């Protein structure tokens, strides 16, 4: 996959979160966005997902510029799957219905077929017997697996994950990271924001360091962690890998 940012600016309340970003990246399966909180990672993720549009500049994926009008963006988003750190499941619906609902109302799948797809994805992600339960009755790891199953049910080209383990305890974190690793090994294109440096080191093809409104450095994972170039990157890694 190829990603190109051409003079991208995104501001909120007059403050530039991304400031004239120029960047080109090519990776086989997985891109990890890392960096300190507030550096612009989630904003960049939302632009790549088509949830927001740049105030200035262009975002291109595989040579095609992401559209700006809502109808075209809606069509683009149909080719993506998005998982947020807070799961974003509908609390009043069962796990099965959380997957069925977007298939029917967003992707136009007939309900009987949507139920078949949802059931097969619950089985794929080891959630057999959990489909009737509402999110409050599931563990954190199970809720995140339902969210990932929902994001993949329509066979998206790209799976985008925004800190998918930040709300989980260590055991559940390991469970979800194992699942993401399985998806990567199966050939799914993945872009994720993560603070799990060990996971990024072993799973990502490319790692990008996002801070101060820009992408200060990007490199293959082995190179990024072994010999970071920028002082800011070295300081970040020294701090986060200290313990």
Extended beta strands in 13-133, E state? 15-26, 30-34, 56-61, 64-65, 80-83
Spatial separation of the C-alpha atoms in residues 141 and 146, rounded to whole Å: 9
Contact assessment for residue 32 and residue 207, using Cβ atoms and an 8 Å cutoff: yes
In this structure, what token pair is assigned to residue 43? Answer: 């904003």
Stretches in the chain below the pLDDT threshold 50: none
pLDDT tens, 62-93?
A: 999 999 888 899 889 999 999 987 778 999 99
pLDDT of residue 17: 95
Number of domains in the chain: 2
Q: What is the pLDDT of residue 228?
A: 94
Task: Write down which residue in 156, 180, 199 finishes a domain.
Answer: 156
Residues 48 and 164 in one domain: yes
Q: Both 162 and 191 in a single domain?
A: yes
Residue 226, domain member (yes or no): yes
Instruction: Give the span between the Cα atoms of 116 and 126, in whole angstroms.
Output: 16
User: What is the model's pLDDT at position 127?
Assistant: 92
pLDDT score for 198: 87
Residues 6+ apart with CB under 8 A from 30: 184, 189, 190, 191, 192, 203, 204, 205, 206
**How far are the Cα atoms of 28, 149, 172 from residue 120, in angstroms, in the given order?**
27, 9, 22
Residue 37: strand pairing partners: none
Residue 130's domain comprises 90-156
Q: Are residues 152 and 176 in the same domain?
A: no
| pLDDT value for 240 | 86
Residue 60 resides in a domain? no
Question: What pLDDT does 243 receive?
Answer: 66
- For 87, 93, 125, 208, the CA distances from 4, given in Å and listed in that order, are 28, 38, 33, 13
Q: Judge if pTM exceeds 0.75.
A: yes
| Non-local CB neighbours of 2 within 8 Å, separated by 6+ positions | 24, 25, 26, 60, 61, 62, 63
In a domain, residue 142? The reply is yes
């Amino acid at each position: 996959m190829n990603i190109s940012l051409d003079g991208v600016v995104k501001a909120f309340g007059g403050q530039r979160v991304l400031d004239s970003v120029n960047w080109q990246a090519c990776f086989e399966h997985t891109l990890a966005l890392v960096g300190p909180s507030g550096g612009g990672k989630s904003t960049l993720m939302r632009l790549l997902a088509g949830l927001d549009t740049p105030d200035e500049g262009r975002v291109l994926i595989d040579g095609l510029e992401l559209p700006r009008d809502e109808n075209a963006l809606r069509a683009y988003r149909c080719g993506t799957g998005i998982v947020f750190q807070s799961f974003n499941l509908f609390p009043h619906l069962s796990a099965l219905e959380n997957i069925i609902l977007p298939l029917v109302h967003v992707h136009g799948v007939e309900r009987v077929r949507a139920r078949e797809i949802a059931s097969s994805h619950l089985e794929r992600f080891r959630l057999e017997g959990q489909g009737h339960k509402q999110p409050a009755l599931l563990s954190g790891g199970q809720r995140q697996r339902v969210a990932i199953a929902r994001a993949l049910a329509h066979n998206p080209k790209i799976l985008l994950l925004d800190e998918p383990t930040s709300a989980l305890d260590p055991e559940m974190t390991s469970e979800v990271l194992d699942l993401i690793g399985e998806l990567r090994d199966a050939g799914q294109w993945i872009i994720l924001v993560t603070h799990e440096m060990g996971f990024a080191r072993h799973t990502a093809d490319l790692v990008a360091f996002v801070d101060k409104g820009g992408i200060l450095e990007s490199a293959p994972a082995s190179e990024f962690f072994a010999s970071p170039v920028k002082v800011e990157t070295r300081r970040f890694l020294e701090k986060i890998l200290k313990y």
